[in-house]
Structure 1
Amino acid sequence: MRDTERSPVSQLSDDLLVEIISRVPYKSTRCCKCVSARWRDLVSHPDHRKKLSLSTLAGIFYQTFRGERFPAMLCGYQSVSGNWCTSMDCSLSFLPKCKRVNMYLLDSCNGLLLCLCWNQPSDVNGFGYVVCNPVTEKWVALPATTSSSKGHAGKKKLGVYSSKTGVWTHGVVWDNPLSVSRFPRSIFFNRMLHFSSDNNLVVAIDVEGNHRVIRGPMPDSARGVPNVYLSRGQLHLANGSVSELSIWALEDFSSENWTLKHSVSHLQLLGTEYSMFAGNYRVISIHPEHNVIFIVCEQLYMLSGPSLTKLMSYEMDSRELRFICDLEWGCRTPYLPYVPLLSEPLADGQ
Structure 2
Amino acid sequence: MENGRVSARIRSSSSPPSGSETAAERLTDDLLIEILSRVPARSLCRFQCVSKHWLGLINDRSYRRKLPQTLAGFYDAGQLLDSGVLFTNILGSRHLTYPAFLPGRRLVFLLDSCHGLLLFSSYVAGDHGDEIRYVVCNPATEEWAELPDSGYSGDASSINLCFDPAVSPHFYVFCLPVVEVEDQHGFCITGVHVYSSETGSWVHNEKRWSGNIDVANDPSIVYLNGYLHFCAIVDGSARRLAAVDKEGAARTDFRVPDDLDVCFIQQSQGCLHYAGFDRGDNDDDVDQLLDYVLKDYDSKEWILKHSVETSHVFGGRHAVSLYEDFDWIAIHPECNLIFFTLAWEDITFMCYDMDHGQVKVICNLEESKPPYFPYVPLYEELQSLHK
Per the normalisation by structure 1, the TM-score is 0.70
Give the superposed CA RMSD.
3.3
**Of 86, 110, 115, which residue of structure 2 is paired with 1:76?**
86
Instruction: Work out the CA distance in 2 between the residues paired with 1:27 and 1:317.
Output: 14
Q: Which residue does 1:294 correspond to in 2?
A: 339
**Of 235, 238, 241, which residue of structure 2 is paired with 1:202?**
241
Q: Are residue 211 (structure 1) and residue 251 (structure 2) matched?
A: yes
1:94: Cα distance to partner? 2.1
Whether the aligned pair in 1 keeps the contact of 2:108 and 2:120 (CA below 8 Å) is yes
Instruction: Work out the CA distance in 2 between the residues paired with 1:65 and 1:177.
Output: 30
After TM superposition, the structure 1 stretch with the greater mean CA deviation from structure 2, 168-177 or 289-298, is: 168-177
Q: Deviations over 1:170-202 (max 9, x none)?
A: 156324321215996321111221111133211
Instruction: Work out the CA distance in 1 between the residues paired with 2:239 and 2:195.
Output: 29
Q: Which residue does 2:327 correspond to in 1?
A: 282
**Of 336, 341, 346, which residue of structure 1 is paired with 2:378?**
341
Instruction: Work out the CA distance in 1 between the residues paired with 2:119 and 2:302.
Output: 30
Instruction: Work out the CA distance in 1 between the residues paired with 2:188 and 2:360.
Output: 43
Instruction: Work out the CA distance in 1 between the residues paired with 2:254 and 2:122.
Output: 33
**Of 170, 173, 177, which residue of structure 1 is paired with 2:204?**
170
Q: What 5-or-longer segments of structure 1 have no aligned partner?
A: 3-22, 30-52, 303-307
Whether the aligned pair in 2 keeps the contact of 1:65 and 1:73 (CA below 8 Å) is no
Instruction: Work out the CA distance in 2 between the residues paired with 1:263 and 1:63.
Output: 29
1:95: Cα distance to partner? 2.3
For residues 217 and 204 of structure 1, do their structure 2 counterparts lie closer, same or farther at Cα, with a shift above 3 Å needed? Answer: same
**Paired residue type of 2:41:** Y
1:203: Cα distance to partner? 1.3
For residues 271 and 154 of structure 1, do their structure 2 counterparts lie closer, same or farther at Cα, with a shift above 3 Å needed? Answer: closer
Q: Which residue does 2:195 correspond to in 1?
A: 161
**Of 259, 268, 281, which residue of structure 1 is paired with 2:312?**
268
Q: Which residue does 1:191 correspond to in 2?
A: 226
1:125: Cα distance to partner? 6.8
Q: Which residue does 2:369 correspond to in 1?
A: 332
**Of 126, 137, 150, which residue of structure 1 is paired with 2:156?**
150
Instruction: Work out the CA distance in 2 between the residues paired with 1:270 and 1:143.
Output: 46
**Paired residue type of 1:317:** D
Instruction: Work out the CA distance in 1 between the residues paired with 2:380 and 2:96.
Output: 14
Instruction: Work out the CA distance in 1 between the residues paired with 2:189 and 2:92.
Output: 45
For residues 184 and 282 of structure 1, do their structure 2 counterparts lie closer, same or farther at Cα, with a shift above 3 Å needed? Answer: closer
For residues 278 and 258 of structure 1, do their structure 2 counterparts lie closer, same or farther at Cα, with a shift above 3 Å needed? Answer: same
**Paired residue type of 1:266:** T
1:311: Cα distance to partner? 1.0
**Paired residue type of 2:148:** P
Instruction: Work out the CA distance in 2 between the residues paired with 1:285 and 1:254.
Output: 24
1:54: Cα distance to partner? 6.5
Instruction: Work out the CA distance in 1 between the residues paired with 2:133 and 2:335.
Output: 36
Instruction: Work out the CA distance in 1 between the residues paired with 2:230 and 2:146.
Output: 24
Q: Which residue does 2:114 correspond to in 1?
A: 109
Q: Are residue 322 (structure 1) and residue 360 (structure 2) matched?
A: yes
For residues 150 and 181 of structure 1, do their structure 2 counterparts lie closer, same or farther at Cα, with a shift above 3 Å needed? Answer: farther
Q: Are residue 57 (structure 1) and residue 71 (structure 2) matched?
A: yes
Instruction: Work out the CA distance in 1 between the residues paired with 2:206 and 2:72.
Output: 34
Q: Deviations over 1:139-179 (max 9, x none)?
A: 11123433324234434322111335533111563243212
Whether the aligned pair in 1 keeps the contact of 2:141 and 2:379 (CA below 8 Å) is yes
Q: What 5-or-longer segments of structure 2 have no aligned partner?
A: 3-37, 45-66, 158-177, 179-186, 280-285
Whether the aligned pair in 2 keeps the contact of 1:150 and 1:181 (CA below 8 Å) is no
For residues 73 and 131 of structure 1, do their structure 2 counterparts lie closer, same or farther at Cα, with a shift above 3 Å needed? Answer: same
Instruction: Work out the CA distance in 1 between the residues paired with 2:112 and 2:216.
Output: 13
Q: Which residue does 1:309 correspond to in 2?
A: 347
1:320: Cα distance to partner? 0.8
Instruction: Work out the CA distance in 1 between the residues paired with 2:257 and 2:206.
Output: 26
**Paired residue type of 2:349:** L
- After TM superposition, the structure 1 = structure 2 runs for residues 119-130 of structure 1, keeping only pairs within 5 Å, are 119=124, 126-130=131-135
Q: Which residue does 1:12 correspond to in 2?
A: none
| 3-state SS in 1 of match to 2:384 | coil
1:63: Cα distance to partner? 2.1
Q: Are residue 26 (structure 1) and residue 36 (structure 2) matched?
A: no
